[in-house]
Amino acid sequence: MAKDFDAIIIGAGIIGAATALAMARKGWKTLSLDKLPAAGYGSTSGSCAIIRPYYSTVDGSAIAYESHFYWKDWEKFLGAPDERGLARYVDCGCIVMKTEGNKALKPTMALMDTIGCPYEELTPEQLKQRLPIVNTESFGPAKRPEDSGFGEPNGKSMEGAVLFPAGGYVTDPQLATHNLQRAAEAQGAVFRFKVSVTEILQEGGRAAGVKLDNGETLRAPVVINIAGPHSFKINRLAGVEEGMKIKTRALRHEVAHVPSPQGYNFERDGTVFSDSDIATYFRPEMGNHLLIGSEDPPCDTQEWVDPDDFNREFTEQWKVQVMRVGQRIPDLGIPSKTKGVVELYDVTDDWIPIYDKSDLPGFYMGVGSSGNQFKNAPIAGEMMADLVEACEGGRDHDRDPVSFTLKYTGREVSLGFYSRLREINKDSSFSVLG
């Protein structure tokens, strides 16, 4: 088969760019395509870019903990300069409140013990010493402002929290993606922007390249779908969606940016903070702000959308999230002017990504990843590269799953965990934060 490239990667978000780098390092001649004007301009740019080790499964936690070390050594991992500078990882740690819903984090701490990840339990008094702006009363279950009892303590006190020191956030997710692009280009990878894929070419019963919206055809024996919230549309172009037990959809989300309480420097002294009692999470944001997101409680309606046609304006949900955090931080003000991000998640049925081959030989998927996989991007890229190389070398990944060794912790994980053919993982948290 004639070819222009060894592999075409659809999508230049954080995982697409990381995959381009990993494959280029293996000697593949790759072309990355994206409909937007630059790498990381889609859902990646709206990512909260939180780095945290706690998930609801062993493999998910092991990979997330491993990612901390990649970000800590970002410059060495990239191995190439970027004229725009390098993204910064603020390893301020993560605090998670103990609640009835997460079983006082006992299962999570057991997972951390299994993978060797450090943590520290905090009493309510120790939590207030660490973050004096917080109120340790309980308000759960999460409600909406129009619900009876919203904002009123339920008469119970929070049991405490757990601090995970191996975590934090990346200050500029789009810049981090640009860093990966430049590192991939230094290895020979090619990126093209402002182009859309309209057809997945097939020849001899396998993927053979793509056709673009300008009529151009590009040939390659391998095509990889890492198109973020558009991933299900690309899978339909390839005709592989029906062969998947786990599928993806685009979910609209709003994130609020609000000033820190007066007299407190949350940008300097704050942490990533996850609180299922009020069903929100927040972290420091530049300009001494808090970045506030929702943990998708049952009282909120999930908005599944067409990624090419959705509302990019803030709604009442913006204020709801801020008011919920106002329960935990009584001195938090609610600005009259909304500020933050409206973007999409690419979500699977169980909120665990798909890193896999497909029923079409030569067509691969790194999908269902946005919302909770930013942290894992460097590792996900390496896993995808190993997967493609093994399958193209003749390995039947469905019957004999590829394994990946985590280089910092030495733990081995099976990529079969991320199979398109898995049953829905009932251990998943089914939310953006495990």
Q: Residue 234, class by beta-carbon neighbours within 10 Å (0-12 exposed, 13-18 middle, 19+ buried)?
A: buried
Pairing of strands 197-203, 206-212: antiparallel
Final residue of a structural domain among 348, 368, 397: 348
Task: Tell me which residue of 11, 21, 9 sits closest to 382, measured CA to CA.
Answer: 21
Final residue of a structural domain among 318, 348, 378: 348
% of the chain residues with pLDDT over 70: 97
- Residue 365 — very low, low, confident or very high, per pLDDT cuts 50/70/90? very high
Q: Residue 428: is its pLDDT beyond 80? A: no
**365 with 309, same domain?**
no
DSSP string, 285-351: ETTTEEEEEE---TTSPPEEEBTTB---S--HHHHHHHHHHHHHSTT----SS--EEEEEEEEETTS
Backbone angles phi, psi at 393, to 5 degrees: -85, 0
Q: Residue 287, class by beta-carbon neighbours within 10 Å (0-12 exposed, 13-18 middle, 19+ buried)?
A: exposed
Comparing 170 with 432, which gets the higher pLDDT? Answer: 170
Q: Residue 430: is its pLDDT beyond 60? A: no
Secondary structure letter of residue 261 according to DSSP: P
What integer is the mean pLDDT of 279-304? 96
**324 with 257, same domain?**
yes
What pLDDT is recorded for position 91? 97
Pairing of strands 7-10, 30-34: parallel
Sheet containing 206-212: order of strands = 197-203, 206-212, 217-219
What integer is the mean pLDDT of 79-103? 97
* Tens digits of residue pLDDT in 380-425: 999 999 999 999 999 999 999 999 999 999 999 999 999 999 998 6
Q: Write out the two tokens for 16.
A: 């697409």
- Has residue 195 been placed in a domain? yes
- Residue 370 — very low, low, confident or very high, per pLDDT cuts 50/70/90? confident
CATH code of residue 74: 3.50.50.60
**229 with 344, same domain?**
no
Proportion of the chain in helix, strand, coil states, percent, rounded to 5: 30, 25, 45
**271 with 374, same domain?**
no
**179 with 78, same domain?**
yes
% of the chain residues with pLDDT over 90: 94
Tell me if 42 sits within 8 A of 227, measured CB to CB: no
- Has residue 63 been placed in a domain? yes
How many separate domains does the chain show? 2
- Residue 48 — very low, low, confident or very high, per pLDDT cuts 50/70/90? very high
* Tens digits of residue pLDDT in 126-180: 999 999 999 999 999 999 999 999 999 999 999 999 999 999 999 999 999 999 9
Final residue of a structural domain among 291, 324, 348: 348
Q: Residue 371: is its pLDDT beyond 80? A: no
Tell me if 320 sits within 8 A of 144, measured CB to CB: yes
Tell me if 368 sits within 8 A of 424, measured CB to CB: no
Tell me if 387 sits within 8 A of 397, measured CB to CB: yes
Q: Which residue has the tokens 């592999």?
A: 7
Length of the chain (residues): 434
- Has residue 193 been placed in a domain? yes
- Has residue 429 been placed in a domain? no
Distances (CA, A) of 59 to 23, 65, 165: 23, 10, 19
Task: Tell me which residue of 76, 47, 68, 83 sits closest to 181, measured CA to CA.
Answer: 83
Q: Residue 366: is its pLDDT beyond 90? A: yes
- Has residue 73 been placed in a domain? yes
- Residue 56 — very low, low, confident or very high, per pLDDT cuts 50/70/90? confident
The CA-CA-CA angle for residues 214, 217, 223, to 5°, reads 115
Pairing of strands 30-34, 190-193: parallel
Q: Residue 209: is its pLDDT beyond 80? A: yes
**262 with 325, same domain?**
yes
What pLDDT is recorded for position 434? 40
**294 with 261, same domain?**
yes
Q: What is the mean pLDDT of the chain?
A: 95
- Has residue 128 been placed in a domain? yes
Q: Residue 29, class by beta-carbon neighbours within 10 Å (0-12 exposed, 13-18 middle, 19+ buried)?
A: middle
**254 with 342, same domain?**
yes
354 - beta bridge partners? 367
Distances (CA, A) of 124 to 63, 105, 156, 161: 30, 15, 12, 7
CATH code of residue 335: 3.30.9.10
Compute CA 26 distance to the chain's CA centroid, rounded to the nearest angstrom: 25
Q: By residue range, what is the domain housing residue 256?
A: 94-165+249-348
* Tens digits of residue pLDDT in 217-241: 999 999 999 999 999 999 999 999 9
* Tens digits of residue pLDDT in 353-362: 999 999 999 9
Q: Residue 433: is its pLDDT beyond 60? A: no
Compute CA 400 distance to the chain's CA centroid, rounded to the nearest angstrom: 27
Tell me if 102 sits within 8 A of 108, measured CB to CB: yes
Distance CA 90, CA 268 (A): 10
- Has residue 314 been placed in a domain? yes
**272 with 309, same domain?**
yes
**pTM to 2 decimals?**
0.97
Distance CA 405, CA 112 (A): 18
Secondary structure letter of residue 403 according to DSSP: E
Q: Residue 76: is its pLDDT beyond 80? A: yes
- Has residue 197 been placed in a domain? yes
Tell me if 233 sits within 8 A of 250, measured CB to CB: no
**286 with 403, same domain?**
no
The alpha carbons of the chain give a radius of gyration, in whole angstroms, of: 21
**110 with 19, same domain?**
no
Distance CA 7, CA 209 (A): 8
What integer is the mean pLDDT of 264-292? 97
**257 with 234, same domain?**
no
